[in-house]
């Protein structure tokens, strides 16, 4: 059934019901927040042992070096090797940084802009124009970086198994196209993972720009909502096999594994890419926080320790995601007013409402005390061309609040649809 198929009087009756329901919602005077992909207190508690690590007397890495002192721009072997195993890449291709992989992404683009990267003919600042491929919907903070540098963001739709690679293969024939954002596993906000075929094509395609890079932000590499962990293809080896060893800037971090914002970030890439980055990073500073790296290595113990932690996260998060999907199905399933993703991992559910009503849904929710991420946030410049996408982030609030908020959101989606239909 679709709302569009209803007779006028049926539609008006339903609209009156939803309006009554919305008035009741407003009367509750809620204050609920589904905006950002923050872990909950329960999840953060899983890593509380880390607050007292590495522990007094523990300050030597596996080589015996004193982590309390300066040095070692690449980070300590203990955590680089552990993380290389988690990602399934060679540890010689992994460096460990401070807490934020977003910081490294910004720096990679900033260094390319000011100085050019290791395959550039000139600094990107000296290009007439730099264009960047942006699969949409995508991660708002990615888009903000390329916006900051004035790049033209070229949108490409996310399909069922990754971005529209046909479109990308055409775009990269333009030498002004210098790069692409990607969240390859349990993508933000769709939850979609790139298929092996999509990955292989991205590694293989010829690009007009020799210094073209894919920022491979594997933020949700182990962030499953089920008992199964995703495959993380070793894009560094794949790209090397396909003749484009420097294609991927592979990013990862422990941000939603231990503590958000005080974990360890990782940058994996070809030796050439790492050398180029390290040369400039070595001008920017002496090295990363190695005490925190050692603390994390001790906390996890090994790659299985990472997975053990992630199983706890899955157990905490899965009921919230199930609640969102259950309520969306129950309240909206029969009316054909919205579609949504059903992710097996990650932090978000992406919902498309009737074209042009996303802003109104956001506004209605706001008035009812439910804060949603600004409609359009998952698109470059915050502008969704179809005005339909809303990113739902159920991780932070307790389960009962997720239920209450989503029930309210469903009411707002319906109300906005009725308004659009003039009912």
Q: Which is nearer to a second copy, 68 or 381 (CB)?
A: 68
Residue 120 touches a second copy, criterion: CB under 8 A:
no
In angstroms and rounded to an integer, the radius of gyration of the C-alpha atoms of the chain is 23
Residue 286 touches a second copy, criterion: CB under 8 A:
yes
Residue 67 touches a second copy, criterion: CB under 8 A:
yes
- Alpha carbon distance 152, 83 (integer Å): 34
28, 37, 41: which is closest to 407 by C-alpha? 28
Residue 262 touches a second copy, criterion: CB under 8 A:
yes
Q: Is 185 left (phi over 0), alpha (psi -120 to 50) or beta?
A: beta
Q: Which is nearer to a second copy, 261 or 422 (CB)?
A: 261
Q: Which structure tokens are listed for 404?
A: 């209450």
Output the smallest distance, CB 240 to a second copy, in A.
29
Residue 413 touches a second copy, criterion: CB under 8 A:
no
Residue of 6, 11, 14, 44 that binds a second copy (CB under 8 A)? 44
- Alpha carbon distance 185, 194 (integer Å): 6
Q: Specify the pairing of strand 389-392 against strand 162-163.
A: unpaired
Residue of 31, 70, 128, 400 that binds a second copy (CB under 8 A)? 70
Q: Which is nearer to a second copy, 152 or 164 (CB)?
A: 152
Alpha helices for 333-398 (secondary structure H): 358-367
Q: Which is nearer to a second copy, 193 or 395 (CB)?
A: 395
Residue 173 touches a second copy, criterion: CB under 8 A:
no
Q: Which is nearer to a second copy, 205 or 396 (CB)?
A: 396
Residue 42 touches a second copy, criterion: CB under 8 A:
no
| Interface region with a second copy, contact rule CB under 8 A, candidates 25-33, 95-103, 168-176, 240-248 | 95-103
Residue 377 touches a second copy, criterion: CB under 8 A:
no
Which of 46-59 are b and which e, b meaning 16 or more Cβ less than 10 Å from the residue's Cβ? Answer: bbeebeebbeeeee
Residue of 35, 110, 176, 336 that binds a second copy (CB under 8 A)? 110
Residue 285 touches a second copy, criterion: CB under 8 A:
yes
- Alpha carbon distance 126, 378 (integer Å): 29
| Interface region with a second copy, contact rule CB under 8 A, candidates 255-263, 310-318, 368-376, 385-393 | 255-263
Output the smallest distance, CB 158 to a second copy, in A.
23
Residue of 3, 47, 353, 357 that binds a second copy (CB under 8 A)? 47
218, 274, 220, 214: which is closest to 239 by C-alpha? 214
Q: Which is nearer to a second copy, 58 or 339 (CB)?
A: 58
Output the smallest distance, CB 7 to a second copy, in A.
49
Q: Specify the pairing of strand 32-34 against strand 370-372.
A: parallel
- Alpha carbon distance 117, 275 (integer Å): 11
Q: Would you list the DSSP string of 124-154?
A: GGGSS--EEEEEES--HHHHHHHHHTTPEEE
Residue 62 touches a second copy, criterion: CB under 8 A:
no
Q: Would you give the binding string for a second copy spanning residues 135-164, x where CB under 8 A is met?
A: ------x--xx--xx---------------
Output the smallest distance, CB 313 to a second copy, in A.
14
Output the smallest distance, CB 53 to a second copy, in A.
7
CA triple 231-236-242, angle to 5 deg: 105
DSSP bridge pairs for 131: 152, 177
Residue 102 touches a second copy, criterion: CB under 8 A:
yes
Helix or strand holding residue 42 (H, E): helix 41-45
Are 192 and 162 a contacting pair, CB within 8 Å?
yes
DSSP bridge pairs for 134: 155
- Interface residue list for a second copy (CB under 8 A): 36, 38-39, 41, 44, 47-49, 51-59, 66-71, 98-100, 102-103, 106-107, 110, 113-115, 125, 141, 144-145, 148-149, 255, 259-262, 280, 283-292
């Amino acid at each position: 059934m679709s709302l569009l198929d209803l007779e006028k009087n049926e539609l008006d009756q339903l609209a009156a019901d939803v309006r009554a329901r919305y008035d009741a919602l407003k009367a509750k005077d809620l204050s609920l927040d589904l905006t950002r992909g923050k872990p909950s207190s329960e999840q953060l508690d899983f890593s509380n042992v880390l607050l007292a690590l590495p522990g007094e007397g523990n300050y030597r890495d596996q080589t015996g070096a004193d982590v309390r002192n300066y040095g070692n721009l690449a980070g300590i072997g203990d955590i680089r090797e552990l993380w290389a195993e988690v990602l399934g890449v060679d540890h010689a291709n992994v460096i460990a940084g401070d807490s934020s992989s977003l910081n490294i992404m910004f720096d990679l683009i900033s260094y390319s802009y000011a100085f050019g990267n290791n395959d550039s003919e000139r600094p990107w600042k000296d290009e007439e124009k730099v264009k960047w491929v942006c699969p949409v919907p995508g991660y708002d903070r990615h888009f903000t970086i390329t916006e900051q540098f004035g790049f033209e963001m070229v949108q490409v739709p996310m399909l069922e198994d990754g971005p529209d690679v046909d479109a990308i293969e055409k775009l990269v024939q333009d030498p002004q196209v210098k790069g692409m954002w990607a969240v390859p596993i349990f993508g933000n906000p769709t939850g979609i993972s790139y298929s092996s075929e999509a990955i292989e094509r991205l590694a293989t395609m010829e690009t007009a720009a020799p210094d073209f890079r894919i920022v491979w932000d594997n933020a949700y590499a182990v962030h499953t909502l089920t008992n199964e962990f995703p495959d993380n293809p070793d894009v560094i080896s794949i790209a090397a096999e396909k003749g484009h060893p420097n294609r991927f800037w592979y990013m990862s971090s422990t941000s939603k594994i231990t503590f958000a914002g005080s974990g360890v970030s990782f940058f994996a890439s070809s030796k050439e890419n790492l050398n180029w980055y390290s040369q400039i990073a070595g001008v920017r500073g002496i090295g990363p926080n190695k005490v925190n790296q050692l603390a994390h290595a001790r906390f996890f113990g090994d790659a299985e320790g990472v997975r053990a932690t992630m199983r706890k996260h899955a157990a905490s998060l899965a009921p919230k995601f199930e609640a969102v999907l259950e309520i969306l199905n129950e309240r909206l399933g029969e009316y054909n007013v919205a579609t949504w993703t059903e992710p097996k991992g990650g932090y978000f559910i992406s919902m498309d409402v009737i074209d042009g009503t996303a802003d109104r849904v956001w506004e209605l929710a706001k008035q009812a005390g439910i804060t949603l991420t600004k409609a359009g946030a998952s698109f470059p410049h915050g502008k969704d061309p179809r005005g339909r996408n809303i990113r739902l982030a159920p991780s932070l609030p307790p389960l009962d609040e997720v239920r209450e908020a989503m029930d309210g959101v469903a009411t707002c989606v319906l109300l906005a649809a009725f308004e659009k239909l003039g009912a």
